[in-house]
Chain A
């Protein structure tokens, strides 16, 4: 992960962090996964494309949150099993395992 994160340029990381903070601030009291994922800042993170995958995976490692929609759209993958649906920790681990399998971690 260390070498992968170092591949992300500073401007990208700063933009991601700014959008992440904006999204978190605005969706703290939201239960709806749809509303969280449709938030403009979250959509702009998706729009940053594959460059943010290492940053999203880092977030899942350090502070698991609802990044699964973004990862699924950007990668077109879904490593989450049915029995783990809704378990944020297990869903995060599934994506981190996906990251390892794909040489991203």
Chain B
């Protein structure tokens, strides 16, 4: 599927590696939250997983609130920061959320591409384009991971 990923995300410029098999069990939001057993999305009917205390609206604000429930808060920069883990929210030109990525300890990013594979990619902007739009918000929380 590498060729398909390259075609869908031409800005990756081969600066990525595939790190899982394809699966429809979890999506990018779940992966960003550290989960691999369910699909996160704020739709009410049919009901997909969404933190119960957060409104089921497809807005960047609601995605921010969803990740605040698991300890994240908004921040300004995407650089790796010792002691913190970061996630990025992408949105299209209508500002509908489209994708989330999670930063690894190395400073590279990991993304689950819909029902495709997880990939590790060097730059967030590699996923910019017609599929996911652009990064609109970074969030961070104190990490529980050891370097």
Contact = CB atoms under 8 A, between A and B. Distances in A.
Interface in A70-105: 72, 78, 80, 82, 85-89, 91
Contacts of A85: 38, 47-50
Contacts, number: 82
A30 B38 contact: no
B40 A86 contact: yes
Nearest to B31: A31
B15 interface: no
Nearest to A87: B38
A32 B25 contact: no
Contacts of B43: 33-34
Interface residues of A, number: 24
B45 A78 contact: yes
Give the interface size class of chain B: 20 to 34
Given A86-B38, A86-B48, A29 B58 contact: no
B68 to A, nearest CB: 19
A65 interface: yes
Interface string B19-35: 00000110111100000
Interface of A: 27-35, 64-66, 68-69, 72, 78, 80, 82, 85-89, 91
8 contacts: A28-B8, A28-B113, A29-B8, A30-B131, A78-B45, A86-B40, A86-B50, A87-B38
